[in-house]
Chain A
Amino acid sequence: MSRVLDPASASVTTDEVGAPARGLVEWTRGAAGSALGRVGRRFGLRRLFRTSAFRIAVIYALLFSTLCASTLGFIYWSTRDQIHSQIGVRLELETKYLTSIYESGAVATLLEVIQQRSQNETADRFYDLERNDDADTLADQDGENLPIRLKSVSSQYTGTMGDVADLAPGDSRRFYPVRVMETELASGLKLTIAYDISDEQALLDHTFVLVVGATLLTLFFSLIGGIVVGLSVLRRIDSVSRTAAEIMSGDLSHRLSVTERDDEFDEIATELNQMLDRIEDLMKSMQQVTNNVAHDLRSPLTRIRNRLEVTLLEERDAENYREVMNEVIGDADSLIHTFNAMLGIARLEAGIDAVEWSDTRIGDVMGELAELYEAVAEEEDGLEFVVDIAANPQYRCNPHLIAQAVTNLLDNAIKYTPRPGRVSLTLEGDEDRFLICVADDGPGIPEHERERVFKRFVRLENERNSPGNGLGLSLVKAVARLHEAQLALEDAEPGLRVMMRFSKRRAVERDRRRQSRLDARAVARTDREAKA
């Protein structure tokens, strides 16, 4: 006999909300995305809507709106339940009272009470007692013919006045909301009590409007907020793009602006600026290489050409020609050597990650070099070679490059130390940091030149006529830089002392950075390969 009129009176469990709610969010997100796209295109705001800031704002807006709607909705339903149950209690009490009258057999009293209560105009209640067989009155006023049930069956629901009362079609009271309790007193005999809940319903409706309004407001303001944030992000990005465009058009000296805020944009800007510094460095050094190639390779090439041209001026004999050719081969060889050295240095400076590293005992490497140079010194009167290898730290490096760098230093020392002279090679330190030092007691390098000598092809005035290409120290600098070792030139009083200081701690950091670069590159490569 129960009538279910309002599905909302059924209680709502979270399980039932969960899955469909998630689906709803997804659909909304997708629909909103494409809708935004269309709107954006119309208003030229597409860029704005594509920013991650805006999208995140939209997601948050939807989230908060949903949260808002859920919370307020819960409050609404809860309030409604509460109201209905309060009224329900009163309905029950009254029903119980009336039922007890019926059960005590005083049917006439029951009818009287009902009549009385119905006529009470001020009360917003409705009473009805009816039989299924549509009889208006009860057969027996005494109630003796009426079957008595020990227990009555009742149900409550919400409906409109028009459902329970016979009202004329034009009567406005038809649509008054009522809370109804129907009780079956006996088979075929139904007691209906209905309370007008217009006031309460008005309150609920008002609350519902507030819920919807609050949700919409949240949504609206979140979106506004998203637009504002998105615009500010776009502005930062635009400034980066502009600077990048300026740089690409050729002016490498531009740098991105970094604000005081120290936020993630500033972080990126700082990193990019460092990258630009490096690129500018590399460009400058490349320009320098080109200049130096033009300048310093020109002389031996000119020499070769002149030699050949002069030789052709006269008839000479075969022996003569052969001699000239051998000399030219010598010149060509030294050119090749210079050229290779230059390329090697340029490559070192640029392709730091192409170098292979291995764990090496530095003392062993120095020891081998020491053997070779000691032998050279012994063959020569007036050249003393002193070796002091006080440690043998294990260090992750490229041993070939280290050997080459130290060889360059030793070659220089031997070349520029007048005889009698002294050259020394020392290695001291421990597993955490160590120092390689090559010193001589020759003329040394004046203080104001010490920076310059590391540039390629620089040779000091007093060296102009001795063999060499001026690249030795450049290589040493490149190798030191590669290993993040500190390179220093000092006055050995007399002479020159060159020191390379290595630190394990810096090496560990360097390797860590290098590994992450290699990993990133490997990922990028597999991505490219996957797409290809």
Chain B
Amino acid sequence: MRILLVEDDTEAAAYLVKGLTESGHSIEHAADGEKGLQLAVANAYDSMIIDRMLPKRDGLSLIEELRRMGNMTPVLILSALDDVDERVTGLKAGGDDYLTKPYQLSELIARLQALTRRAQSGVQGTVLHVGDLTLDLIKHKVTRSGRNVNLQPREFRLLEYLMQHAGQVVTRSMLLENVWDYHFDPQTNVIDVQISRLRSKIDKDFDTPLLHTVRGAGYKLQEVQSVVEAG
């Protein structure tokens, strides 16, 4: 993935550049809003990470300018402001996702991948497929190997999200935000329990497991023979 990072904190930027490069992405860095805008306009990126507080031109105004110019590259906003309503402001400005500092690198990478996939998938089909698992968005039906799977509405939404991000790491906080609209972190392992229930419905009685746990990060829905991927 070709990524543009606009971040003025040199240490944080160095850390991100290192982390993302070692994850196999190519990353360019701008230290202020104006430089960031120039780079964004001059080159094509798969996604951008933009810090909210920037010298010369702040992050939100940079995103607004890009959107005004018709640039729809997915943007992940980084911010020290973690109010839910600040998040709304960021998304309204044209951002696609919002991550507050301090964050975990695995979280950032997972979200970045989710963004890119969403952008690249283009028109959503009404039926999602992963392996022999299908989910019909219109009819609200889920089948695996032709057999019907009965899901509660919330479970359906959970599976839908996992399937939309098939092959990518999905973190607990991504699930809390997108499936339940909770922007906080319950101490009790509610997500783990929901995943385990879903697993028992879609994986248990079937040959290959599709729903995998990624240690230290989250979960992944994938048709893969080998199971665990780190980070």
Residues of A participating in the B interface, judged by any CB pair closer than 8 Å? 326, 333, 336-337, 340, 343-344, 347, 354-356, 368, 371-373, 375-376, 379, 400, 403-404, 407, 410-411, 414-415, 467-468, 472
- Determine if A376 and B189 form an interchain contact, defined as CB atoms under 8 angstroms apart: yes
Residue B206 interfacial (CB < 8 Å): no
Residues of B participating in the A interface, judged by any CB pair closer than 8 Å? 82-85, 88, 100, 102, 104, 152, 154, 180-190, 193-194, 196-197, 216
**8 A-B residue pairings within 8 Å (CB atoms):** A326-B216, A343-B82, A373-B190, A375-B190, A375-B193, A379-B193, A404-B182, A415-B187
| Cβ contact of A376, chosen from B82, B102, B181, B188, cutoff 8 A | B188
- Determine if A373 and B82 form an interchain contact, defined as CB atoms under 8 angstroms apart: no
* Assembled-state Cα–Cα distance A284/B115 (Å): 43
- Closest A residue to B85 by beta carbon equals A356
Residues of chain B within 8 A of A375, CB atoms compared: 190, 193-194, 197
Residues of chain B within 8 A of A467, CB atoms compared: 187
* Assembled-state Cα–Cα distance A347/B104 (Å): 23
- Determine if B194 and A356 form an interchain contact, defined as CB atoms under 8 angstroms apart: no
Residues of chain B within 8 A of A371, CB atoms compared: 152, 154
Minimum Cβ distance to chain A for residue B217 (Å):
12
| Cβ contact of B83, chosen from A326, A347, A411, A468, cutoff 8 A | A347
Residues of chain A within 8 A of B190, CB atoms compared: 372-373, 375-376
Instruction: Tell me the number of A-to-B contacts counted with CB atoms below 8 Å.
Output: 60
* Assembled-state Cα–Cα distance A407/B185 (Å): 9
* Assembled-state Cα–Cα distance A210/B83 (Å): 76
A400 and B183 in contact (CB under 8 A), knowing A356-B85, A376-B189? Answer: yes
- Determine if B193 and A400 form an interchain contact, defined as CB atoms under 8 angstroms apart: no
* Assembled-state Cα–Cα distance A333/B104 (Å): 9
State the main secondary structure of chain B at its contact with A.
loop
- Determine if A411 and B85 form an interchain contact, defined as CB atoms under 8 angstroms apart: no
- Determine if A403 and B193 form an interchain contact, defined as CB atoms under 8 angstroms apart: no
- Determine if B102 and A354 form an interchain contact, defined as CB atoms under 8 angstroms apart: no
Minimum Cβ distance to chain B for residue A398 (Å):
8
* Assembled-state Cα–Cα distance A371/B182 (Å): 14
Residues of chain A within 8 A of B186, CB atoms compared: 372, 407, 410-411
Residues of chain A within 8 A of B102, CB atoms compared: 336
- Determine if B196 and A337 form an interchain contact, defined as CB atoms under 8 angstroms apart: no
| Cβ contact of B185, chosen from A337, A343, A410, cutoff 8 A | A337
A411 and B187 in contact (CB under 8 A), knowing A354-B83, A371-B154, A400-B182? Answer: yes
A407 and B184 in contact (CB under 8 A), knowing A372-B190, A375-B197, A379-B196? Answer: yes
- Determine if A354 and B85 form an interchain contact, defined as CB atoms under 8 angstroms apart: yes
* Assembled-state Cα–Cα distance A371/B82 (Å): 27
A403 and B182 in contact (CB under 8 A), knowing A356-B88, A376-B190, A468-B187? Answer: yes
Residues of chain A within 8 A of B83, CB atoms compared: 344, 347, 354
Residues of chain A within 8 A of B183, CB atoms compared: 400
Minimum Cβ distance to chain A for residue B186 (Å):
5
- Closest A residue to B86 by beta carbon equals A354
Minimum Cβ distance to chain A for residue B97 (Å):
17
* Assembled-state Cα–Cα distance A372/B104 (Å): 25
| Cβ contact of B184, chosen from A372, A373, A376, A404, cutoff 8 A | A404
* Assembled-state Cα–Cα distance A375/B190 (Å): 8
